Amino acid sequence: MLRFLIAHGFENVPELAGWWSYTGPLMSATLGVMQRFVPGAAEGWSLALEELAAEPDAFLARTRRLGEVIGRMHAVLASDHDDPSFAPEEASGESLALLAATIDEEIEDVFLHLPDDEAVAPIAGRGDDVRGLLRELTTIGSIGRQIRHHGDLHLGQVLWADGDWLVIDFEGEPARPLPERRRKRSPLRDVAGMLRSFSYAVSVVGLDSGGDVETRARRDFLEGYTEAVHGSGLLPAPETTERLIRIFELEKAVYELRYELAHRPDWVPVPVRAIQRLLEAPA
């Protein structure tokens, strides 16, 4: 990913200095990479918590540029039609059905095992409602082009340095097998990951989740992103794009709910609020 991005003129990553790899009869794999150290860089998650707690406008002033950087990254990843590993692909008619089936299975499993706990009370017994929302959202036809994407994008995967954003950690979700991490998907999965990260940051610092600060962060990020990918042919029509973002946010929120129940019970209300909000918004 880093080699491709740098070779195609994307500069918002720490410079790739080298890598080491293994090639043998059973596998060929990159074992590690070395990148330029960025002195004085602020991790996006830590920066968000600090500024949202003390001076929200300072963080909000950076979110549009973050959207531009992510949009530019996606446009570059979709720019080479001759490299089979990166050439964008038109999503097949089965892609949306497969996506819906995968998310539906996750919803069914998570809601089947919800604990009898006050934290999940707002969505307890609403598994069928969530699956119904998914079915309603996925009646949209084309889902646009599929490309290689970051795969695990959130505020902890970006750095603020020298007045701009850098994107890091392109290995994808570590719990998923490598072929799945390399699979081409809608770039809007990355977008949804960053939007969910805004929601987490706002909740952790004690601001009103879904309130003015989060609304502004989402709006400015999406405006910057949309402007940066304009003309790339990556996204479907605007109304379809909006629905896809909701689908991927729903996917993320259900994944988060499972994770928080298992590892961070105090954070369970964050994905619960997201699922509530998605249920209450007009489809």
pLDDT at 173: 82
pLDDT at 85: 93
pLDDT at 16: 94
Long-range contacts of 277-282 (CB under 8 A, 24+ apart): 277/210, 278/130, 278/133, 278/246, 278/249, 278/250, 278/253, 279/123, 279/126, 279/129, 279/130, 279/133, 281/246
What CATH number should be reported for the domain whose range is 41-280?
A: 3.90.1200.10
* Cα 80 from Cα 86, distance rounded (Å): 7
Global pTM reads 0.92
* In 79-177, alpha helices (H): 93-112, 127-137
pLDDT at 231: 87
The answer to whether 247 and 99 are in contact (CB under 8 A) is yes
Mean pLDDT by runs of 10 across the 283 residues of the chain is: 95 95 89 94 98 96 98 97 93 77 90 92 93 83 86 97 97 82 92 97 87 95 97 88 91 93 94 93 71
* Cα 283 from Cα 271, distance rounded (Å): 19
* Cα 213 from Cα 202, distance rounded (Å): 8
What residue segments make up the domains of the chain, in order of their start?
41-280
